[in-house]
């Protein structure tokens, strides 16, 4: 069973748990530590916090689209998205924290207010995919749990619910296959049969470890608890 096989209420609960987990990581950072680095090259923590806040605002726009039928894209352009993050990162710490808490609360309220019939309305992701509005639960779940680790102050993939790890692995391998990336790579989770990224290609590199370690490596967040992690994984988003 994957994340999207759960009832919507359960999916939203996991997204909210991830938000709480991320909020705790953020609360543990001092204002000065917001200037520190993240696991994302070129981004300080303040960039990441701005991104997470504006991502919630962008998902609110998709909720409005689903509720009204009026097309409301997540972002007007990739340039607008990048500029928004860059400007948000210049906010003073209290304003930055307020941006995060305010947009998180707005998204949760949009979720609570969306009519049941609107969850199947088609909306478009930033990557251009048409998906039902309920897909925002997974989009946000993926965002908050992974970025809690990216803050680099104690977040661990090992803290993720197993269903998120399994769904992330499916998501990542699926993206690689769609983009024709990762030929020759096999992922071997302890106690499971190895997953070959491209079944037709001979395996030339195997990454082995526990589920959390393999997913962390595949997501591009470093080799922790795996063997074969010296290879840089393909991009997936």
| Residue closest to 121 by CA, chosen among 136, 105, 106, 140 | 136
Can you say whether residue 227 is alpha, beta or left, with left for phi > 0 and alpha for psi between -120 and 50 degrees? beta
Q: Say whether both 29 and 92 belong to one domain.
A: yes
Q: Over 80: is that where the pLDDT of 201 sits?
A: no
| Residue closest to 209 by CA, chosen among 231, 230, 187, 193 | 187
37 forms bridges with which residues in the sheet? 44
Collapse the DSSP code of 209 into the 3-class scheme (helix H, G, I; strand E, B; otherwise coil) and give the result. strand
Structural domain contains residue 168:
yes
Q: Say whether both 113 and 166 belong to one domain.
A: no
Mean per-residue pLDDT, 70-79? 94
Q: Say whether both 151 and 163 belong to one domain.
A: no
Q: Say whether both 100 and 58 belong to one domain.
A: yes
d(CA 229, CA 219): 12
> If you write DSSP's letter for every residue of 108-146 in order, what string do you get?
HHHHHHS-GGGGG-EEE-TTS-EEETTHHHHHHHHHHHH
Q: Say whether both 18 and 103 belong to one domain.
A: yes
Q: Say whether both 89 and 40 belong to one domain.
A: yes
**Contact predicate 153/25, CB 8 Å:** yes
Mean per-residue pLDDT, 124-142? 96
Structural domain contains residue 170:
yes
Q: Over 90: is that where the pLDDT of 32 sits?
A: yes
Tally of domains in the chain: 2
Structural domain contains residue 237:
no
Sign of CA dihedral 45, 155, 8, 127: positive
Q: Say whether both 120 and 191 belong to one domain.
A: no
Its domain, for residue 111, covers 3-155
Mean per-residue pLDDT, 141-169? 98
**Which of 127, 155, 183 is the last residue in one of the domains?**
155
The pLDDT assigned to 219 comes to 98
d(CA 160, CA 163): 8
Mean per-residue pLDDT, 84-113? 98
Instruction: Provide the CATH number for the domain around residue 135.
Output: 1.20.120.450
Instruction: Provide the CATH number for the domain around residue 215.
Output: 3.30.1050.20
Mean per-residue pLDDT, 104-120? 97
Give residue 199's pLDDT band: very low, low, confident or very high (50, 70, 90): confident
Contacts of 122 (CB under 8 A, 6+ apart): 130, 131, 132, 133
d(CA 97, CA 153): 16
Q: Say whether both 44 and 137 belong to one domain.
A: yes
* Phi, psi angle pair for 190, to nearest 5°: -50, 130
Q: Say whether both 170 and 134 belong to one domain.
A: no
pLDDT > 70: what percent of the chain? 100
d(CA 29, CA 6): 33
β-bridge pairing 185-189 and 205-209: parallel
Q: Say whether both 11 and 74 belong to one domain.
A: yes
Chain mean pLDDT for the chain: 96
Q: Over 90: is that where the pLDDT of 173 sits?
A: yes
Structural domain contains residue 235:
no
The pLDDT assigned to 1 comes to 84
* Phi, psi angle pair for 220, to nearest 5°: 80, 25
**Which of 130, 155, 180 is the last residue in one of the domains?**
155
Q: Over 80: is that where the pLDDT of 200 sits?
A: no
Q: Say whether both 107 and 123 belong to one domain.
A: yes
**Which of 108, 133, 155 is the last residue in one of the domains?**
155
């Amino acid at each position: 069973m994957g994340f999207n096989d759960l009832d919507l209420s359960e999916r939203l609960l996991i997204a909210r748990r991830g938000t709480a987990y991320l909020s705790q990581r953020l609360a543990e950072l001092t204002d000065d530590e917001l200037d520190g680095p993240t696991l994302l090259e070129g981004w300080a923590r303040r960039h990441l916090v701005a991104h997470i806040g504006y991502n919630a605002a962008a998902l609110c726009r998709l909720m409005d689209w689903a509720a009204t039928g009026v097309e409301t894209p997540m972002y007007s352009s990739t340039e607008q998205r990048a500029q928004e993050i860059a400007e948000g990162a210049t906010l003073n710490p209290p304003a930055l924290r307020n941006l995060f808490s305010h947009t998180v609360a707005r998204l949760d309220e949009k979720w609570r207010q969306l009519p049941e019939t609107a969850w199947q309305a088609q909306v478009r992701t930033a990557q251009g995919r048409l998906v039902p509005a309920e897909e925002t639960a997974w989009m946000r779940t993926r965002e908050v749990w992974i970025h809690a680790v990216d803050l680099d102050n104690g977040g661990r993939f090992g803290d993720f619910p197993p269903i998120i790890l399994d769904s992330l692995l499916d998501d990542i391998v699926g993206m690689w296959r769609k983009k024709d990336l990762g030929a020759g790579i096999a992922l071997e989770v302890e106690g499971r049969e190895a997953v070959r990224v491209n079944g037709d290609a001979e395996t030339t590199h195997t990454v082995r470890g526990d589920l959390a370690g393999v997913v962390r490596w595949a997501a591009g967040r470093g080799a922790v608890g795996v063997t074969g992690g010296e290879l840089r994984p393909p991009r997936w988003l």
